Amino acid sequence: MSAGSALYDIPGPRALARHRRWARLTTALLALLVAYLGYRLVHTGQFSAVKWRPFEYEGIQRLLLTGLGNTLKAFGWAAVLSLAFGAVFAAGRLSDHRPVRWASTLVVEFFRAMPLLVMIFFVFVALKLAPLTALVTGLTLYNGSVLAEVFRSGVNAVPRGQREAGYALGMRKTQVVTYVLVPQAARAMLPAIVSQLVVALKDTSLGFLITYQEFLYAGKLIATDLDYGLPFIPVVMVIAPVYIGMCVALSWFAGRLARQERRSPKVRGTPVTVAPPREI
């Protein structure tokens, strides 16, 4: 019996035929849904030339590229600072010193519970910082707190025997965490880390609320232009694939790192030659 059939029976000819019928029916329903949406968009004039004309102008293209660059800049700063914030406060939550552990827990739980938009507005309005700084600060505090919990949970998920083996070799706690626990936990934590970075990338769109000229803000300027018939749907059809492409690229990059780690050369044991028994 194959490993794939351990939990269920392999479908026979009748089951396969039934699966094909359901697959064809589902495909037909999806095609009808897409056709209906396309019809509604055409019927409401969303594909008219006047609504798509703005994308032909160099100034509009430069506006979108500038917004995309600002989005990537905010995400880059937020990703680096969130990872650093998460690592520091995860170490604090794993500390043996009770005051450090309690203080780190208070910080992490506070910023995890605080709405991201509230933090961004507080930094921008109350502290009167630049829009980029306010956006990056809010993203760092929120996503860094979530990543701190991811790091802590990942380290604690490593079997207890690994920790005890490190202590048995005379290693200090810092060495055990750095050289024993973190390398083993990194592979398990990678999907959650990438998922949170994708959230941070999408949340950069909140910058338009504080007039930070990121990608969505540039799209908003185009979509509300009366001279082009308020091309809201065309702007969405241009901006949404870019956001999806960036998130997919981030996931692909993380997957490639994971595959390279699995293919990395391992330490090979040296064969031991056993001497033949002596004749008496």
Long-range contacts of 109-114 (CB under 8 A, 24+ apart): 109/145, 110/145, 111/141, 111/142, 111/144, 111/145, 112/142, 112/145, 112/146, 112/149, 114/141, 114/142
Nearest Cα residue to 239 out of 192, 189, 202, 278: 202
Domains in the chain with CATH codes: 49-261 (1.10.3720.10)
For residue 278, the model assigns a pLDDT of: 54
pLDDT at 269 over 80: no
- b/e string for 43-69 if b means 16 or more Cβ within 10 A? eeebeeeebbebeeeeebeebbeebbe
Interval 202-260: pLDDT, tens: 999 999 899 899 999 999 888 888 777 888 889 999 999 999 999 999 888 887 877 77
Residue 105, CB-side half-sphere exposure with 13 Å CA sphere: 10
